[in-house]
Structure 1
Amino acid sequence: MSEQQVPEPMTQEERTAWVREQFQRANKHLAENGVLYDSVITSESRYLVPYVALWKIKALDNKQYWVMSGDLPVDFTLSDNAATARDAIKFFAMHWQLKAENIRQGQGSDDTQLAFANLLQSRAESLFSMQAEDQLWQQ
């Protein structure tokens, strides 16, 4: 998502493989956090290849979640926190900015934690810019 790096155009096959890989990353992250995937609500999911993939998923417990992966850390939240994919992107941007600041302010933050805080801040800023771009959200 770096503004300096413009990726090479991807073939449809490469795009499909990227989306599949990101879904596997997202599903693994959910499972590691005790959320078992049931189905994807594809009509509400969004992909901005090769930067971010955002799925609205229904878990086996019937709860719905937004889960995001891509050129950023994998994260998820209950769908109650964001009505739309655009709202979910904004939610993650604000959540990550707060998380980055909490890491920086924390006692005993080491270089690895500070680097993670910087990554979160950078990706949060990119996500915030994405959610502000009206043309990305037109159907």
Structure 2
Amino acid sequence: MTEINDQESLSKWVREQFQRANKHLAEKGILFESVVTEESRYLAPYAAVWRIRSQDKKSFWVISGDVPADAVPVEAAETAREAMKRFSYSWRMQAENIRRSNTLDKDQQAFATLLDNKADMLYAIASDKKVWQD
């Protein structure tokens, strides 16, 4: 994981994660209109949680960083912190579903383990009161 120890590195990381979030949405057929920066959170180098509004006026929480890119409708969580917990829960369920499938191969097993590890990381960050100023 890359160290973020100056403003230039942080700005570069934020730009890259924003591009990654938009790419993820585009792959799902969702076209970006705007980002609600005051509700988005950047926890470099771990995760960025974006509140993004699409061209069809729907809003999404989108996560990127040292985690799989993912998105949920904004109705799934009120805040970026709650969205992190939502992603954590969702990834745990996805990992469990992968493990219960009858077609489990090494790649799927590795992905399930990755999801569990990233879910642990997100939940720990979301639960750390020192990180959040609610």
TM-score w.r.t. structure 1 length?
Answer: 0.93
Corresponding residue SS for 2:8: helix
Aligned pairs, number: 134
Output the CA distance in 1 between the equivalents of 2:24 and 2:87.
Answer: 16
The equivalent residue for 2:7 is 12
The equivalent residue for 2:40 is 45
Identity of aligned pairs, percent? 49
Letter in 2 for 1:74: A
RMSD value over aligned CA atoms?
A: 1.2
Q: Does 1:133 align with 2:128?
A: yes
The equivalent residue for 1:94 is 89
Letter in 1 for 2:16: E
TM-score w.r.t. structure 2 length?
Answer: 0.96
> In the alignment, is the contact (CA less than 8 A) between 2:3 and 2:45 conserved in 1?
no
Q: CA offsets per residue over residues 63-85 of structure 1, 9 Å max, x none?
A: 00000000010000000000111
| Structure 2, unaligned runs of 5 or more | none
Output the CA distance in 2 between the equivalents of 1:61 and 1:26.
Answer: 17
Which of these residues, 7, 22, 27, is aligned with residue 27 of structure 1? 22
The runs of 4+ residues in structure 1 deviating greater than 4 Å are none
Change (3 A) 1:28 1:8: closer
